Chains A and B, each alone.
Chain A
């Protein structure tokens, strides 16, 4: 199968801002033990754009997402080869501190996973360990800004001391987003952030994603193709560990170049 490299034409992407590459993956291969899970993935993530990764279960999209902030390092048997660059800096370089990478490339997970602490503590934790706040007042500001950024401030301003787990699912997910943006990352990775949410909560998150991309660069894994179509400007289709097709979202969803992409998005797989 042909791995498509980044198309140079970006005229179809609806935004006036010039497009530049934030992260790039070159010849990324990944093994879990002896089983290869990613094959020669080449892909660019554009700055201030939402890139959606789609594909059937087990296609490697989440694995690839977790390569982007080295979350795969936590799995002992996982081995990554190739180049993943963040602003031209190879994040797999031995001299790079993985914690610094994760501070720059934050992550939001499938299931909302707030810490079993207060709402305030959830958001304040990241800035605290990274030493981003100079004083308590400063930290308060960061917490408020992050919660506002996640569109949650109005709902929780008067109960910051309550446990994060007491919120509804959608609110918890937005709390997790607030927690992620509190450390001022450049890229936010989202692993199926709406799969556990109802349509209204999902709409809130999607609206939020659109808002967040003005400040951050977002990569989102989703099983919901309509969602990928709604929130992203670029879409990558993975199948069996290979990047089958990558391009502007509207091209992928109206006239994909690869038969396999078409079969998948029109529900003809298998």
Chain B
């Protein structure tokens, strides 16, 4: 199997093709960075009751959509004009899917931001204690998967993929915790339901990070991660 490190040393004979691939990668990285920041800010807005930050998250979503559109166009153009094969083909085709995952991630961040605006009006903040933990796990996954993409590191991507189970477990325990709160004190039901949605959103963000990890492995090796995926619904 050709190693990614080697492939990078090999430049395309047509240099402008290299430039275009680099630009596409750059757009993905930019979009990834933006999505990561969206998730982080949404989380921060929620935990610190920063309504303005939450509002900025909602505002910035347009930029993500813009980037996704641009990547779509770049991919179509590259497919039509360069007829890429092998690793180039995998990288370009996956760019399409990765941008889709990132866009979904950002949507979840907006969703969290919207809920944090409502949650800030709630007095009882006790049920929120466990949320930052799963949030940090999610955020770390997003960050690592983007690093793996930038570095074309299949090992790192694979590690991220394995951490999805962790987040799923955290989500399950948080779910139980929130159900307990609701049983103990029916007044917290409204808050807990919002929090439940936030937790679900975070879990979905982690899922998309996992998807991206799979795609990174596919770009590099041309194979899928074979282990049956651990699905939580």
Contact = CB atoms under 8 A, between A and B. Distances in A.
A267 B86 contact: no
Contacts of B1: 257
A257 B222 CA distance: 9
Contacts, number: 52
Interface stretch (A71-79, A159-167, A187-195, A248-256): A248-256
A16 B85 CA distance: 26
B2 A256 contact: yes
A253 B86 contact: yes
B7 A262 contact: yes
B85 A259 contact: no
B123 interface: no
B10 interface: yes
Interface residues of A, number: 19
B12 A254 contact: no
A227 to B, nearest CB: 11
B222 A254 contact: yes
Nearest to B93: A254
Given A254-B90, A254-B222, A259-B2, A270 B83 contact: no
Contacts of B2: 256-259, 261-262
Nearest to B91: A266
A108 to B, nearest CB: 25
A226 B3 CA distance: 24
Q: In the complex, which of the residues B14, B17, B85 has the most CB atoms of chain A within 10 Å of its own CB atom?
A: B85
A266 B221 CA distance: 15
A259 B3 contact: yes
B13 A259 contact: no
B180 interface: no
A254 B7 contact: no
Interface in B58-110: 83-90
Nearest to B7: A262
A262 B86 contact: yes
A256 B12 contact: no
Contacts of B3: 259
A136 interface: no
B11 interface: yes
Contact of A255 (B13, B83, B90): B90
B6 interface: yes
Contact of A267 (B6, B14, B222): B14
Contact of B84 (A258, A261, A263, A266): A266
B122 interface: no
B223 interface: yes
Contact of A266 (B6, B88, B223): B88
Contacts of A229: 85
B90 A268 contact: no
Q: In the complex, which of the residues A259, A265, A266 has the most CB atoms of chain B within 10 Å of its own CB atom?
A: A266
Interface in A223-255: 225-226, 229, 253-255
B97 to A, nearest CB: 15
Contacts of A253: 85-86, 89
B141 to A, nearest CB: 26
A127 B202 CA distance: 74
B13 A265 contact: no
A262 B5 CA distance: 13
28 contacts: A225-B85, A253-B85, A253-B86, A253-B89, A254-B85, A254-B86, A255-B223, A256-B86, A257-B1, A257-B2, A258-B2, A259-B2, A259-B6, A259-B7, A261-B2, A261-B86, A262-B2, A262-B7, A262-B86, A265-B85, A266-B84, A266-B85, A266-B86, A266-B87, A267-B13, A268-B11, A268-B12, A268-B13
Interface of B: 1-3, 6-7, 10-14, 17, 83-90, 221-223
The 9 lowest CB-CB distance pairs between A and B, nearest first, are A255-B222, A259-B2, A268-B10, A265-B85, A262-B2, A266-B88, A262-B86, A253-B85, A263-B10
